[in-house]
């Protein structure tokens, strides 16, 4: 479910902005779609909510990191298609692995370091812009994608620590609260002097797309709770971008430059390698 939700969401998340619905308002819709996911989560927990400092602080911090990345993602999708952005963002395990090694003194294996090395090469290849290419606009999208990569990589690191101190439902609740708190900022950044598409292809379509992301995030939490990390981590890191790329290329009907195709493949392989290695490290740590 996580792979399906994130993969389909990734392919279509920039659609409404191209239909004339501003990216900042897209963030507002996304934040609002977290509410039904929160209600579903709390109902599974018998409507109990923890208020201890670990649940609040870690949940709010993870939410801020995730929501800032989400806001930047909407902006980045104005300048580049999803099939370029999402493979680059999928390299976020590189950040999580490095933080775990440096701060938590965890050990990573050869696969992890190979993934980090391949991710650097993939980042360079994905940033390649062929002469006369009109698919992307400048290089701002590359910078934004790298910032998102860092934000979401740090978020995964925070969630890794948080899961040892708080329940998943509580973390998700406070994550959602911090994401909703940024709605005023998104509205402030919206240029209402420009025409806004208020029809079905605007906010309503955005809601249908963004709710996939909201429930995908919730199911990811449950996937790690009920599934084996060594299976969940690689699948949820590397597989959604594969689906996103396949759907996006079909929708855009564009064959990327061979250099970019190599970058996409390397990014997915790197994410898969780092996911496997991180999962193995987690299993070994838990047994120890």
Residue pair 65/158 in contact (Cβ under 8 Å)? The answer is: yes
Rounded CA-CA distance 231/126 in Å is: 27
**In which domain, by residue range, is 105 found?**
2-287
Residue range 193-241, pLDDT digits in tens: 888 999 999 999 999 999 998 898 888 777 666 554 445 555 666 667 6
What local confidence, expressed as pLDDT, does residue 235 receive?
61
Residue pair 25/203 in contact (Cβ under 8 Å)? The answer is: yes
Residue range 55-99, pLDDT digits in tens: 888 888 988 988 888 888 888 877 777 777 777 777 777 787 777
Domain count, the chain: 1
The pTM score is 0.74
């Amino acid at each position: 479910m996580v792979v399906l939700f994130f993969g389909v969401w990734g392919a279509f998340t920039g659609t409404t902005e191209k239909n004339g619905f501003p990216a900042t308002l897209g963030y507002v819709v996304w934040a609002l779609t977290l509410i039904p996911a929160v209600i579903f989560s709390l109902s599974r927990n018998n409507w109990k909510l923890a208020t201890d400092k670990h649940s609040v602080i870690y949940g709010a911090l993870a939410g801020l990191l995730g929501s800032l990345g989400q806001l930047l993602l909407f902006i980045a999708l104005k300048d580049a298609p999803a099939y370029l952005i999402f493979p680059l963002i999928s390299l976020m395990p590189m950040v999580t692995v490095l933080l775990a090694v440096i701060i938590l003194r965890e050990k990573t294996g050869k696969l992890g370091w190979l993934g980090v090395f391949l991710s650097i090469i993939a980042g360079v290849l994905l940033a390649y812009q062929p002469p006369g290419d009109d698919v992307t606009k400048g290089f701002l999208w590359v910078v934004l994608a790298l910032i998102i990569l860092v934000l979401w990589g740090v978020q995964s690191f925070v969630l890794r620590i948080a899961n040892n101190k708080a329940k998943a439902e509580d973390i998700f609740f406070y994550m959602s609260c911090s994401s909703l708190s940024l709605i005023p900022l998104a509205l402030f950044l919206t240029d209402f002097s420009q025409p806004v598409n208020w029809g079905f292809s605007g906010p309503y379509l955005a809601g249908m797309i963004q709710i996939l992301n909201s429930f995908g995030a919730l199911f990811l939490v449950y996937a790690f709770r009920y599934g084996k990390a060594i299976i969940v981590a690689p699948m949820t890191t590397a597989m959604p971008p594969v689906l996103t790329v396949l759907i996006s290329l079909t929708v855009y009907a564009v064959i990327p430059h061979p250099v970019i195709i190599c970058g996409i493949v390397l990014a997915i392989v790197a994410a898969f390698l780092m996911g496997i290695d991180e999962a193995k490290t987690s299993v070994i740590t838990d047994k120890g």
